[in-house]
């Protein structure tokens, strides 16, 4: 029985690296995969999915209007897929997450989603909230705060390194815009707004 997986973590935990390693493992064994990532993240120049340690791969890009059930089902009919891997899964809509569940349940294709659990305010992303609610398997990947504790939060910072407490939920960026912190240091950086 195929399952829907959600691998979640803060920034810098190796989500994309882990996805790319899983993809390599399937392909090394001669199995077909289909990779997806959010169209909103246009930072990668040569590869749609790129890890901070330099690994990369081409991928399909989804946006709010993408019907994952239809796109994956059509590809699966032409070439049976062993697995679907989705990076930046926090940007999936709730409906797209349910499409991923349908792919696992009806098409019998394992769907592995990788993404952030929360935004820079500590609030769940819609895609992450649905994945946390319905995924068959939840796997937390670990990142490390500067203090050595497990980093679970994503602090948005300005050009000077100061904490940003307001703004749109989604703002694409890497180490120049976000710092992974434990909850204690996240609260301290924000002046304990909670």
Please report the domains of the chain, with CATH numbers, ordered by start residue.
4-142 (3.40.50.300)
- pLDDT score, position 40: 77
Active-site annotation holder among 88, 108, 140, 188: 88
Q: Which helix (H) or strand (E) covers residue 133, if one does?
A: helix 126-134
CA distance 25 to 181: 31
CA distance 53 to 9: 17
**CB neighbourhood size of 83 (10 A):** 20
- pLDDT score, position 39: 87
- pLDDT score, position 190: 83
- pLDDT score, position 141: 94
37-44 long-range contacts, CB within 8 A, separation 24+: 37/61, 37/62, 37/86, 37/87, 37/88, 38/62, 38/63, 38/87, 38/88, 38/91, 39/63, 40/88, 40/91, 40/170, 40/172, 41/88, 41/91, 41/172, 42/172, 43/172, 43/174
Tens place of pLDDT for every residue, the chain, 194 residues? 899 999 999 888 889 899 999 999 999 999 999 999 998 765 555 557 777 667 778 899 999 999 999 999 999 999 999 999 999 999 999 999 999 999 999 999 999 999 999 988 888 999 999 999 999 999 999 999 999 999 998 887 777 776 667 666 666 555 566 888 899 988 888 887 55
88 as an active site residue: the answer is yes
- pLDDT score, position 83: 97
Q: Retrieve residue 40's tokens.
A: 């909103």
Can you give the pTM of this predicted structure? 0.88
- pLDDT score, position 172: 59
CA distance 119 to 111: 23
């Amino acid at each position: 029985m195929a399952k829907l997986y959600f691998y979640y973590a803060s920034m810098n935990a190796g989500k994309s690296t882990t996805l790319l390693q899983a993809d390599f493992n399937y392909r090394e064994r001669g199995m077909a995969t289909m990779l997806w990532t959010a169209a909103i993240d246009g930072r990668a120049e040569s590869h749609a999915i790129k890890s901070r340690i330099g690994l990369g791969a081409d991928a399909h890009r989804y946006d709010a209007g993408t019907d994952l059930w239809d796109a994956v089902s059509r590809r699966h009919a032409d070439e049976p897929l062993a697995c679907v891997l989705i990076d930046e899964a926090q940007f999936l809509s709730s409906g797209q997450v349910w499409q991923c569940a349908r792919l696992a349940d009806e098409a019998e294709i394992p769907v592995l989603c990788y993404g952030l659990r929360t935004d820079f305010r500590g609030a769940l992303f819609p895609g992450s909230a649905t994945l946390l609610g319905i995924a068959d398997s939840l796997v937390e990947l670990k990142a490390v705060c500067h203090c050595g504790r497990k980093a679970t939060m994503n602090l948005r910072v300005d050009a000077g390194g100061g904490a940003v407490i307001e703004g749109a939920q989604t703002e694409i960026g890497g180490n120049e815009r976000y710092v992974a912190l434990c909850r204690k240091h996240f609260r301290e950086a924000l002046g304990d707004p909670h």
